[in-house]
Amino acid sequence: MSFRYPNGKLYTAAKHAPSPRPTNRGNRGMRLEDDINDSISYYRNRKTAVIHKKPTPVQIVNVDYPARSRAKITEAYFRQASTTDYNGIYRGYHLDFEAKETRQKQSFPFKNFHDHQLNHLAAISDQGGCAFLILQFVESEEIFVIKADVFLQLKEESTRKSLQKSVIAAHSVSIKRTYTPPIDFLPAVDQLFF
């Protein structure tokens, strides 16, 4: 089965399939999210950090209670989220971030970011939290971790519809994909915030 989340992201049952992961382009889109989910689970198990992905917000309209089986939601709608997808605690600090990817090769389109996500990250930053973005260029497999306030400043100053990769690279920490965890972003957080 497959369906699209309101953000246009494709959900496919395949993404929950065991390794080896499908490597065709259609599924590559979900790999960043999967790998981050695996990474935060690894961090939780090691007690390095407690970070969770927020559930997709859904407005429930009708629920059936079939005899001898669990409650079944038969009518519900996607709601607009008001925060980012990820938050938690690390070294006593509040972390909050969003992970995004693009198939563009040289720049990251601003349209990939929703206002509610950027406003939320700005609010977290203002409160003294560690707010950041994990940005992946799918084609080159490059991953950057950038502070939310730096990104917002660059977006503010930009006259384009996207942020050039060279600019991102100059203002962020680049990370490599590994195995345990797949995306080891906490050392980048150390470097950016501590």
Going by the annotation, the residues of the binding site for Mg(2+) are: 83, 85, 98, 117
- Residue numbering of the annotated binding site: 83, 85, 98, 117
Smallest gap from Cβ 108 to a copy of itself, in A, equals 25
Interatomic CA distance for residues 191 and 173, integer angstroms: 8
- Residue 100, SS3? strand
CA dihedral angle for residue 102, residue 146, residue 56, residue 119, rounded to 10 degrees:
-110
Q: How far is the CB of 141 from a copy of itself (least distance, A)?
A: 29
The C-alpha atoms of residue 97 and residue 83 are separated, in whole angstroms, by 9
148, 124 in Cβ contact below 8 A?
Answer: yes
Minimum distance, C-beta of residue 93 to a copy of itself, in the bound complex (Å): 7
For residues 73 and 119, give the distance between their C-alpha atoms in angstroms, rounded to a whole number: 32
Omega of the bond prior to 181 within 30 degrees of 0, cis? Answer: yes
51 within 8 A of 86, measured Cβ to Cβ: yes
| Closest to a copy of itself by CB, 17 or 89 | 89
Residues that bind a copy of itself (CB under 8 A): 1, 3-4, 6, 11, 44, 47, 49-50, 52, 54-58, 60-63, 70-79, 81-83, 87-94, 96, 120, 123-124, 126-129
The nearer residue to a copy of itself, 17 or 58, going by C-beta atoms, is 58
Nearer to a copy of itself, 84 or 107 (CB): 84
Which is nearer to a copy of itself, 39 or 102 (by Cβ)? 39
Closest separation in Å from C-beta 150 to a copy of itself: 19
